[in-house]
Structure 1
Amino acid sequence: MMGIPQWNFQKGDIVGKKQAKIVNDPVMDMVVIPGGEFVRADKNRVKVGGFEMSKFPATYDRWKTVKQWGEANGYDFDHNGDMGSMFFFDFTHSPDEPVTNITWFDIITWCNALSEMEGKTPCFYYDEACTKVVRSAYRNKALKVDGPEYIMPGVHPDLKGFLVGHNANPWIFTRWDVDGYRLPTAAEMDYAIRGGKATSYHWGSDAEAAGDYMWNASNSKGRTHKVGLKKENPYGLHDIQGNVFEFSFSASIGRKSRPGDLDLDNPIGSPFHGWQLPKQENGAINHTLLIGGPSFLFGGYNINGSHGVGVESSPATGLTHYYSDVGFRPVRCKAGTHPRNGLRPLSKPKTVQYMKIDPAKYKEPDAIYRGDLRRSGVFNKTGVTSQPTAKWKTKIGGEIFSSPVVASGKLFIGSADGIHCLNADSGEEIWKFPVAGGVDSSACVADEAVLFATKRGQLLSINIADGKRNWVYKGKAKSVKSSPAVVYGVVFCGLGLETVAVDLKKGKKIWSFKDSVPGEFSSLVMGPKAIYVTGTLAWGYLNSFNYNTSEKNWKSNGPYVGGAGVYFYKSPSMDTTSGLYVNTTRGVRKYDANIVGKNAKKGVHMRIWQRLLLDKGVEDNTFIPHASPSVWNDVVFAGRTHNKGGKMAAINAKDGKLIWQQLFDGPCISDPSIAAKSSLVIFGCHNGNVYALDCKNGDEKWKFKTGGVVFASPWIGDGIVYVASQDGFVYALK
C-alpha cells in the first residue's frame, strides 16, 4: 500500500550528507477535498475552501524520507520521531505506522522541507515579512530567569516582572496564499472528519460501526497500527479518526479581533493566543489543540460530528509537547486560494432586538436583596443604634444562606426546604412554599410577586398573598445562589449556565445569554442602561451586557498574576454614577464602567484602583469567597477572609486609600448592609456574631450572638435589623 520505504540504514552511512535535489513525484498520497460548508459544534455555519489532504496520517516512512532530505538541505529537527507507539509498549512496529513523538514545531519544519523538496513555496516563517523560512525546529530550553526575553514586559501593571512560563517559544508567521504544505486548520479538520455528511457519524448513524473505521481503546490492543487498514471516510481519508490524535494548525477560535461567531469564512485561528506579547515572545501558557481523535488509547473523543468534532471535545497540548499517540497529516492548497494573511472579512453581527427600554422609566422594585438594583447594600433606615435584643426569632430549619428581604410587612427568605414568608412584626409563618433541593438565593419583590432562584436552577414567581406559584422557569444548572432582579417589567437572573431575562407576568423567556455566567454567589447589578456581572470561569471577570439584545458590551478579565488567577466570587456593587466595585481574591477593586467599556474591546484590563488589604502576618485567603462590597457616601465597605479570621474595611471610593479596618476571629463573608440614617455598617461573621460598626471610624457600636455562622446579609429597617443564621433561625433585632 505505502510502497517500499525511500530510506534505509546501512553500516557506515552518514545520514544527511547526500546530495539532494527536488523530487519529481509527490511524496504524500493527497486527496482533493471539495470546498463547502458545515455546521460547527457551536451551531455556526462555517465555510471551507477546497484543499488537498493526505490520505493517511504521515507515516514514519514518509516522515523519515522528508526529514532526511531536509537535513541534507540545511534543515534541523528537535525529535527523530517514532514508529507509532514503539516506545509505549514492547510491540513490533512498522514504518507504515503514523509517526509520533514529534512537536508542533517539528511538524511545521517538516512541512516546509516537504514543500521545498517538491519545489513548492513554504508556508512558515520567522518574520512578519515572510522572508526567513522556518528550517529549524524550536528546541524547548530550560527556564532562564535573568534574560529579558523570558520576562513579561510592562504591558499591564499586574504582569510586569512575572515569568510567563517555562520557555519562550518563537513566534511563527504563516503565508496562506502559497502552494506549500501545512497543518490543517480546525475548520478544515472538522470538515474533513465529517466527510460531507450531516449524520451523527461520517459512516451514518450506527455507533456500533465505529470499529470498522477507527482504531481506538476498544480494538487497538494497546498499540498503533499500519495506516489504511480501516475503511475510508466519504472523502477517501483513512484513519481520519482513531489510531493517533492529529495536530492541527490551531483550534483557537474567538480571538478578540476575530470573534468566533463572526469569523466563519475559512477561519484559521492562531496557535499563539493569550496575553499580547511582542512577536519574538510566546510563553508556555499558550497552546494549540489536538484534533481528529480518538487515539489507540482513547475511546470517545470526536467520534460524533454533532458533538463538537475537533474543537470543544479535543484534549489540549502545548506546542512543544510530544506523545506516542499524537501524529499529524499535512494539507495544501493551490496558490492564491487564500489571502496572504489568511484572514477573510468577518460576518456581520446578527442583532436581535428582544426588548426596548427607556432609562427614564428605570425604577426600583418593591424590595430586593442588597437594598437596590445597584446592589449597593444601602438602606435609608436607622437600623438599631444600641445593644439590641431579639424581638423574635423563628426557626425555619436547616442552614440558611439566603438573606431576608422585607416588603409590605412580610419577610421572605429561602432555606434548605423551600421559601418562607413570615410576619415581619411577629415572626409568625404566613405561608411556606416547599422546594426540592432548597433555596440559597435571596428574594426580589415586585408587582405582588416574590421571585427566587432555586438550587436546582429554577426561577420561581410566588404570589405574596397566598404563597401559590404564579409560574416557573426551568433552567439546567445546579447550586444556584444568584438572586433575581426586576426592572423594566422583566425578571433578570443568573442561573449557573446562563443569564436569563424572563417576562414578569408570564415567566416566558425573552432572552438568555451563555457568555456571561455569574459566579456561584454573584447576583446581577442592574444599571439604568446596562447589566453587570462577575464570574469565576478560568479567571475572574467583570462583564457588561445590554438589556435590549443580551449582547456583550465588554468583558474585563482578572489578570494572570504569578501563576494564580483573580477570582470574583460575589456580586459587584455600583455607586450612583459609573463606579463598579468588586471584592476579588486579590483585593478590592474599582472600575469605571465607561472606561472599561471603552478599553476592554482593545484588550486593556482597566481599573481605577486596587486595595490589597494585607497586614504583616495576616494573609488574605485567596480561594474563599469574600463579601460583596457596599458603597455609600464615597466609602466602600468590604468584608474579607484571612488566615487568622476576617476583617471589615472602609476604603475611600475616590482614591482607594484605606480609611480603617477591624479584625475579627472569624471570616467576614456576610455582605455588609449600611444603615444610612445612623451611619452604621452592619454585617455577620463566621463566629456567629452580628456586628454594627461606626461607618466613620470603625468603632464597634454593638454585637449580637446567634447560634451559628452568619453568612446572610442583614436587612435594615427603622429601629429593627433582620438577620438569618445557619443555626436555622431568622432573628428580628430591636
Structure 2
Amino acid sequence: MIATSSPRRRFSARRLGLGAAAVALLAGCASQGEPLYTPQALTDIDATTRLDTRWDTGIGDGLGRARYPLTPARDGKQLFAADAEGLVVALNADSGERVWEVTLESAVSSGLSAVDGRVYLGSKNGDVIALDQSDGSEQWRARVSSEVLAAPQANRDLLIVQSTDGRITALDRDSGDTRWTYESNLPSLTLRGTATPRAINPVTFAGFANGRLVTLDNRSGQPLWQQQVAIPRGRTEVDRLVDLTGQPLLTPDGRLYVTSYNGRLMALEATRGKLMWERRLSSRHAPLLVGDYLFVVTDDSRVLALDAQNGDTRWENKALKGRWLTAPAFADGRLVVGDFEGYLHLLDAPRGELVGRTRVDRSGITVTPVTEGSTVHVLANDGTLETLDVSP
C-alpha cells in the first residue's frame, strides 16, 4: 500500500487554482479547507507492460512554486523543455543530449509549442517569445495583455495566444505583430488556468471561464458561432465555477469535443456548433481521441473511455480516483497518465485495465506526458525530465 498526502484547498478573491496534489494557492489572502478529493491508495497490479528509462536529465528549477503548466514540446527528433525561471533547453529526443540551452529575461509560465523551425512560449508578464529551434536565438518578442498559461497555438500565418484575463490575441507568426484581439467577460472567480485554443487556418476554437466556447474568424477575430458548454449553478461563486480549461479536440471529419469544469462534455459539429451529443461530467483536461474511442480524465480522476459517435461508456477505471491525474496521452496501445505522487500509470486502451506503473519523481507530475510512438517524455514538478520506452 502506498502512503498518500492529502490535498488542501485554498481560495482567493479572484482566481482558484487546482494543482496535481492540491488546490493550488494563489496570491492574496487564502483559507485552508478539507481535501476536495481523497486520493485512492495504490494497490498491486498485474503489470504486463514495461516502462524502461532511456535517459533522464534535470530542467532547472522545474515548474516553480506556482506549478506553471510548462508542458514540453517535441518536433521531429528534438524535444524542448523549460523551467519557470526562464531556462529553455533543446535535447535530442532519442539520446537526451543537449543541443542548446538559453536563459530568457522573462520567467516562463506557459506550455511550449514547437512547429516549423520555431519554439513559442509565454511569460508571467505577458511576453510571447519565438525562438529558433536550431540554436535557441530569439526571433521576436511581443507583449499581450496579461500572463500566458496556455501554450501558444500556430496555424499557417498566425500565432494564437490566450491570456489569463480572457483575451485572445492573434500575432503574425513571422514578426509578432498583433493582427487582432478578442475579449471575453470573466466571472469574478475562476480556476487558475486557461483553455488552450485550437487554431486551424480559417478559425480558432477558444473556451473561456464563463463556460462558453467561441469560434473566431482568423481574418478578423470576429465570432462566427458560440456555444454555452457549462451553465453556472449553485449559491456560491465556487459552486458556480464553469471554466473551460481543456483544449478543444477537433477531428478531421469536423467533430469538435470540448470539456468543462462543473459542466458537460459535448460533441459538436465544428462548422456550426450544432450539438451531436453530450454527457454530464466535470473535467479540466482535454479529451483524447484514438480511433472511435474518446478518453476523458474527470476532475475526481476517473478515467473514462466513451464511444466517440454517441458518448456511451465503453469502460470506466476508478482505481486512480482522487490522485490528481494529468490529461491522458497515448503510447503504443496504452493510455499514459501521471499523478500527484510522481507515478506514471499505463492503462490498456481497449479494456481500461492498469497494465504498468513506475515512479518518475516524488515531486509529482502535473503536466501531460508527451508521447511519440512507444516513447514517453515526462516532466516532473521539480524539473526531472525522463524519457521511457513502453514495451510488453
TM-score grouping bracket, smaller chain normalisation: 0.7 to 0.9
Question: Counterparts of 1:121-136 in structure 2 under 5 Å?
Answer: none
Identity of aligned residues (%): 21
1:524 aligns with 2:193: no
Q: Which of residues 378, 382, 385 in structure 2 aligns to 1:723?
A: 378
Q: Indicate conservation of the 8 Å contact 1:587/1:611, yes or no.
A: yes
Q: Distance in 2 between matches of 1:540 and 1:719?
A: 36
> What CA deviation, in whole Å up to 9, does each residue of 1:697-721 have, x standing for no partner?
1012211212122111112123421
Q: Distance in 2 between matches of 1:681 and 1:501?
A: 33
User: How much does 1:431 deviate?
Assistant: 2.3
User: How much does 1:398 deviate?
Assistant: 2.5
User: How much does 1:607 deviate?
Assistant: 6.3
Q: Which of residues 513, 534, 548 in structure 1 aligns to 2:207?
A: 534
Q: 1:397 to 1:666 in 2, by over 3 A?
A: farther
Q: Indicate conservation of the 8 Å contact 1:626/1:669, yes or no.
A: no
Q: Distance in 1 between matches of 2:80 and 2:338?
A: 19
Aligned amino acid, residue 560 of structure 1: P
> What CA deviation, in whole Å up to 9, does each residue of 1:211-262 have, x standing for no partner?
xxxxxxxxxxxxxxxxxxxxxxxxxxxxxxxxxxxxxxxxxxxxxxxxxxxx
Q: Distance in 2 between matches of 1:584 and 1:541?
A: 9
Q: Indicate conservation of the 8 Å contact 1:589/1:607, yes or no.
A: no
Aligned amino acid, residue 347 of structure 2: L
1:651 aligns with 2:327: no
Larger Rg: 1
User: How much does 1:596 deviate?
Assistant: 5.4
Question: Counterparts of 1:267-416 in structure 2 under 5 Å?
Answer: 386-400=49-63, 401-416=69-84
Alignment TM-score, normalising by the size of structure 1 = 0.42
Q: 1:426 to 1:669 in 2, by over 3 A?
A: same
Q: Distance in 1 between matches of 2:234 and 2:312?
A: 24
Aligned residue in 2 for 1:456: 125
1:585 aligns with 2:261: yes
Aligned amino acid, residue 524 of structure 1: P
1:485 aligns with 2:153: yes
User: How much does 1:528 deviate?
Assistant: 5.0
Partner SS state of residue 302, structure 2: strand
Q: 1:388 to 1:726 in 2, by over 3 A?
A: same
User: How much does 1:551 deviate?
Assistant: 0.2
1:546 aligns with 2:217: yes
> What CA deviation, in whole Å up to 9, does each residue of 1:452-505 have, x standing for no partner?
122221111001111110000112302x21111221222112133321221222
1:692 aligns with 2:363: no
Q: 1:388 to 1:706 in 2, by over 3 A?
A: same
User: How much does 1:531 deviate?
Assistant: 1.1
Q: Which has the higher helix share?
A: 1
Q: Indicate conservation of the 8 Å contact 1:629/1:637, yes or no.
A: yes
User: How much does 1:562 deviate?
Assistant: 4.2
Q: Which of residues 231, 234, 258 in structure 2 aligns to 1:559?
A: 231
Q: Distance in 2 between matches of 1:438 and 1:493?
A: 17
1:468 aligns with 2:137: yes
Aligned residue in 2 for 1:289: none
Of residues 483-492 and 572-581 in structure 1, the stretch that sits farther from structure 2 once superposed is 572-581
Q: Distance in 1 between matches of 2:348 and 2:341?
A: 20
User: How much does 1:451 deviate?
Assistant: 1.0
1:670 aligns with 2:326: yes
User: How much does 1:657 deviate?
Assistant: 1.7
Q: Distance in 2 between matches of 1:611 and 1:659?
A: 16
Q: Indicate conservation of the 8 Å contact 1:665/1:687, yes or no.
A: no
Q: Distance in 1 between matches of 2:374 and 2:294?
A: 24
Q: Which has the higher strand share?
A: 2
Q: Indicate conservation of the 8 Å contact 1:582/1:629, yes or no.
A: yes
> What CA deviation, in whole Å up to 9, does each residue of 1:38-83 have, x standing for no partner?
xxxxxxxxxxxxxxxxxxxxxxxxxxxxxxxxxxxxxxxxxxxxxx
Gapped regions of structure 2 (runs ≥ 5): 1-47, 64-68
Aligned residue in 2 for 1:175: none
Q: Distance in 2 between matches of 1:700 and 1:531?
A: 36
Aligned amino acid, residue 634 of structure 1: D
Higher relative contact order (CA 8 A, sep 6+): 2
User: How much does 1:523 deviate?
Assistant: 0.8
Q: Distance in 1 between matches of 2:185 and 2:217?
A: 12
Q: Which of residues 167, 178, 183 in structure 2 aligns to 1:514?
A: 183
> What CA deviation, in whole Å up to 9, does each residue of 1:78-125 have, x standing for no partner?
xxxxxxxxxxxxxxxxxxxxxxxxxxxxxxxxxxxxxxxxxxxxxxxx
Aligned amino acid, residue 559 of structure 1: I
Q: Distance in 2 between matches of 1:505 and 1:437?
A: 21
The count of corresponding residues between Structure 1 and Structure 2 is 324
Q: Distance in 2 between matches of 1:516 and 1:433?
A: 37
Q: Indicate conservation of the 8 Å contact 1:627/1:669, yes or no.
A: no
Q: Distance in 1 between matches of 2:85 and 2:154?
A: 24
Alignment TM-score, normalising by the size of structure 2 = 0.76
Aligned residue in 1 for 2:367: 712
1:432 aligns with 2:87: no
Q: 1:651 to 1:597 in 2, by over 3 A?
A: closer
Partner SS state of residue 388, structure 1: strand
> What CA deviation, in whole Å up to 9, does each residue of 1:190-226 have, x standing for no partner?
xxxxxxxxxxxxxxxxxxxxxxxxxxxxxxxxxxxxx
